[in-house]
């Protein structure tokens, strides 16, 4: 059963355990995507993106305390705030995505990201 006390905060009961989903950014605007999944004291973020508009409300990382961050793809509106994350938090993304981010940092004269990166292989849809 899925319930929602607000537009961006949902909870579902799965096998007697509550899974909470909070859309911090990305439901009312394009860019700055940040979605939180929490269950049994573990929290992961799906993307931690830089907002595209200056007037966009920032995400307060100090209150999220994620155990891991998954980056869907290497666009700044999906990974741009990783630089502000605690560098010990594991970041999961594709190796190619990380290489593209590294290249963008070189060309924009930014230092490389020093986070704890882990790679997953791209998946494909089964027939």
**Predicted model pTM:** 0.85
Q: What is the CATH number of the domain that holds 82?
A: 3.60.15.10
Determine the structural domain holding residue 94 and report its residue range: 2-115
The answer as to whether 21 is a domain residue is yes
Question: What is the pLDDT at residue 127?
Answer: 66
pLDDT on residue 21:
92
- One-letter-per-residue 3-state SS of the chain: CEEEEECCEEEEEECCEEEEEEEEECCCCCECCEEEEEECCEEEEECCCCECCCCCCCCCHHHHCCCEEECCCCCHHHHCCHHHCCCCCEEEECHHHHHHHHHHHHHCCCCCCCCEEEECCCCCCCC
User: How many independent structural domains does the chain possess?
Assistant: 1
Q: Going residue by residue through the chain, which has 127 residues, state the pLDDT in tens, using 9 for 90 and above.
A: 344 444 578 888 878 888 899 998 877 778 889 999 999 999 999 999 988 887 777 788 888 889 999 999 999 999 999 999 999 999 999 999 999 999 999 999 999 898 999 998 777 776 6
């Amino acid at each position: 059963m899925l319930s929602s006390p607000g537009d961006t905060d949902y909870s579902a009961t799965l096998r007697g355990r509550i899974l909470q989903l909070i859309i911090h950014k990305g439901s009312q605007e394009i860019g700055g995507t940040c979605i939180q999944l929490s269950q049994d004291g573990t929290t992961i973020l799906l993307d931690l993106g830089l907002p595209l508009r200056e007037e966009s409300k920032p995400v307060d990382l100090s209150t999220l305390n994620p155990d891991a961050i998954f980056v869907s793809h290497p666009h700044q509106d999906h990974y741009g705030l990783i630089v502000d994350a605690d560098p010990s938090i594991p970041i999961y993304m594709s190796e190619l995505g990380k290489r593209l981010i590294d290249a963008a940092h070189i060309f924009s004269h930014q230092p490389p990201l020093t986070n704890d990166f882990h790679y997953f292989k791209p998946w494909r849809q089964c027939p």
